[in-house]
Chain A
Amino acid sequence: MPRVLLIEDDPSVREGIELGLRRRGHEVRTAATGEAGLTAIQEFRPDLLLLDLMLPGVNGVQVCRRVREGSQLPIIMLTARGDDFDVVVGLEAGADDYIVKPARTEVIEARIRAVLRRIEEPGGRPAVELHGDLAIDRAGLTVAKAGERLALAPSELKLLLYLTAAPEQVFSRQQLLEQVWEHSYHGDARLVDACVRRLRHKIEDVPGSPRYIQTLRGFGYRFGPL
């Protein structure tokens, strides 16, 4: 079972979620502040971070950035619907997904599983695919550009793997939400847009005029053609 670190300042929410997840067999550690959370990451070595955005002191977005500086730890933000701006900022900071509070434990667990799930690989492919300067190792789950390894967050890696599995095929954002994030069809397309932006910063030569991940206005995204 995955090890989950929950950073949440409200005791009742913290306890409630911890209780719910533990009942489902997760190993849960909690922290009340951003600082305590960052320390706990070092000690606890969680598989996933549940991060409340509204924290006293070092807030959720800052925590998110610090984590992303050195790790590809999957991050799910806890947010209240309507805090739209925070969602966008959190996604830009590198969060992989978000959950709107209040949420049932089954919903939270489903998201955790979705983020942690590896994309099913089609068989009969070479271990390492070359797309232009990009070398994608589907078995090792690594991506290198011009021989240099890229640090991709889980959602970024999954999106890239999904798109490169069918180069030049157009996927609508709703399709990507369903397939990569395992959201319902009517999910928040901003997840896709934010993830694409982050990914482009890492893999494109000129993020402003992308070559690998291209936009088809009104339809969605596709990989290539190069």
Chain B
Amino acid sequence: MRPRGARWRARAGLRTRLLLAFLLVAAVSAGTTATLTYRKARTAILEQAQDTAVSSFRERVSDMATPLPIEPQSLQEQLRALARQGKPHPWVVFAEYGSIRVSSGTSPVSTVITPQLRRAALANPHGGFQRVEKHGEPWLTVAVPTVFRAGKTVRPTGLVLYAVMPLSDEEANVRSMVTAARDGALPGLAVAIIPALLAARSVLRPVRDLRKASQSMGRGRLDTRIQVKGGDELADLARTFNESAIALERSVGELRDAEARARRFASDVSHELRTPLAGMLAVTEVLDEDAARLAPDTAAAVRLISAETGKLAVLVEDLMEISRFDARAAELNTDEVDVAQTIRKTLTIRRWTDPDRIVTELPDGIRARLDPRRFDIVVANLVGNALRHGGAPVTVRLRKAPEAHGEGTRLVTEVADSGPGIRPEVLPHIFDRFYKADSARTRSEGSGLGLAITLENVRLHGGTIRAANGPQGGAVFTVEIPLTGGEATGGEVRK
């Protein structure tokens, strides 16, 4: 499983990217729209102002009558009248004729009118205007050259009239439009987050479902399915997942059935063998006793049958035991015991008491909840195995150790022999059923299931067993069983 942090980052990443993409699209479209609208509106506002100014100025100027050359005093009067009629805003009107400069204002010459405008007005008999920024304020300057009718043609009079008017109102309008665009766009972006979140959720929900389903499958729940909604790519993915899950469930089911059949068969076979064996085993004693009185060949045959019957009985018993583990029918009948005493009893009952062969380091006073019968099998199998395949002396050690993870203590039982140890290639298979470490070895010793049964018994106690080679070369089997496990089932002393 991935660490929690990475998972969160990945999910946040996808969500964040979706959100950002949405906001980006929203920002770009809002910005573009606002910009285009703004430009159009600005142009419209300015054109409106300019056209009004130019045409109305020209119209007013057309009403003028003047001698040539002009008379400054009367012209000034006319200019003042013109200025008052300014549209859309009051003008300041300037007149230029030869070297005469007259204005409706205080200063006869404008500082706003540019030389270009002057040149253009004098060179061509056309009206013109120019927007000028002066002292940070926008101005509209309009130039209207005058002509008069002379004969069939019109001739420039040499008089050019200029109107200067501030565009501050238009500027204010334009600025307020910018503000409006910005104030509209930002809440728009904020609103865009909502569909973005919804979209992100609708994308992420199937992803999350898929992850949960995968985890559930990983935990062995092969019947996990995802609800398929819609027909998008994620729905396709969910459908594919479901199909794969169905296929997987089917093949795993077939495998399990096959395995269960095989196990049931083994169990049934041993069951069926047991009844004839029960009869045979009961009479082996008769055979053994009477063998001495038979002809030598017959006696050997009879003894062989007797001995093999005994081994067969052990084998069938072990097979039955393994079958019960496989069927999870094995029960733990725990009792609280003194572990050292229990191990000593195991050794005593089997007459493994020769101090040259068996060395014990069993501190008294360690009490544990165990199934005494199963623990006896564990110790007996390990010691028996050590005596058979390893070499004397065999050391049996018992100790308590703190749990590797978390609190609690473990009961550690160690069986070490003084033999050559276990070859490395054998180690991984040492607990396999019927595994023969030495292919040349006959099956005369043990059923081949001893260590497998030992492993199952340890597992039933919630413990672990491992095989290794000790520093002195002998094999070391270590059994660790939690001392404070929740393994108390059945056989409990009731109060």
Contact = CB atoms under 8 A, between A and B. Distances in A.
Direct touch of chains A and B (CB < 8 A)? yes
Interface of A: 10, 12-17, 19-20, 23, 80-82, 84, 101-106, 108, 172-174, 184-190, 193, 215-221
A108 B281 CA distance: 11
Contacts of B284: 104
Contact of A23 (B271, B285, B335, B337): B285
Q: What are the 5 A-B residue pairs with the smallest beta carbon separation, nearest first?
A: A12-B279, A16-B279, A16-B282, A102-B278, A185-B345
**Which one of A17, A23, A102, A215 has the highest number of Cβ atoms from chain B below 10 Å of its Cβ?**
A102
Given A174-B337, A185-B349, A219-B336, A19 B493 contact: no
6 contacts: A16-B278, A82-B329, A173-B335, A173-B493, A218-B367, A221-B493
Nearest to A219: B336
Given A10-B275, A193-B493, A218-B336, A16 B285 contact: no
Which among A101, A173, A190, A217 has the highest number of chain B CB atoms within 10 Å? A101
B276 A12 contact: yes
A102 B289 contact: no
B322 to A, nearest CB: 11
B342 A84 contact: no
Per DSSP, are chain A's interface residues mostly helix, strand or loop, or mixed?
A: mixed
Contacts of A215: 493-495
A219 B337 CA distance: 8
B335 A174 contact: yes
B89 to A, nearest CB: 105
Contact of A104 (B271, B282, B491, B493): B282
A186 B337 CA distance: 10
A108 B373 CA distance: 19
Given A104-B281, A173-B335, A218-B336, A186 B286 contact: no
Contacts of B321: 81-82
Interface residues of B, number: 42
A186 B317 contact: no
B482 interface: no
Nearest to B495: A215
B421 interface: no
A173 B371 CA distance: 12
B274 interface: yes
A190 B271 CA distance: 24
A20 B282 contact: yes
Given A84-B331, A215-B495, A220-B493, A13 B286 contact: no
Nearest to B286: A23
A78 to B, nearest CB: 8
Contacts of A105: 282-283, 285-286
Contacts of A14: 279
Nearest to A8: B278
Given A101-B278, A103-B281, 18 more contacts: A10-B275, A16-B278, A16-B283, A19-B282, A19-B283, A80-B274, A84-B331, A101-B274, A102-B316, A104-B281, A185-B349, A186-B345, A186-B376, A188-B333, A189-B335, A193-B494, A218-B367, A219-B336
Nearest to B336: A218
A102 B274 contact: yes
Interface in B281-301: 281-286, 289
Nearest to A186: B376
Contacts of B336: 218-219
B333 A190 contact: yes
Interface in B200-237: none
Contacts of A101: 274-275, 278
Interface in B320-355: 320-321, 324, 329, 331, 333, 335-337, 342, 345-346, 349
B372 interface: yes
A126 B239 CA distance: 86
B493 A10 contact: no
B277 interface: yes
A219 to B, nearest CB: 7
B90 to A, nearest CB: 109
A87 B246 CA distance: 43
B278 A20 contact: no
Contacts of B376: 185-186
A101 B346 CA distance: 22
A10 B276 CA distance: 9
A102 B282 contact: yes
Contacts of B275: 10, 12-13, 101
B228 to A, nearest CB: 46
A102 B346 contact: no
A103 B346 contact: no
B280 interface: yes
Given A102-B277, A185-B372, A17 B345 contact: no
A79 to B, nearest CB: 11
Contacts of A80: 271, 274, 320
Contact of B372 (A23, A174, A217): A174
A46 to B, nearest CB: 18
B491 A16 contact: no
Nearest to B334: A189
Contacts of A217: 493, 495
Contacts of A84: 331
A10 B336 CA distance: 39
A81 B313 CA distance: 12
B335 A20 contact: no
A111 B300 CA distance: 31
Contacts of A102: 274, 277-282, 313, 316
Contacts of B329: 82
A186 B334 CA distance: 11
A82 B373 contact: no
B342 A185 contact: yes
Contacts of A174: 335, 337, 372
A184 to B, nearest CB: 5
A21 B324 CA distance: 31
Contacts of A193: 491, 493-494
Given A81-B317, A193-B491, A16 B349 contact: no
A20 B274 contact: no
Interface in B233-278: 271, 274-278
A101 to B, nearest CB: 4
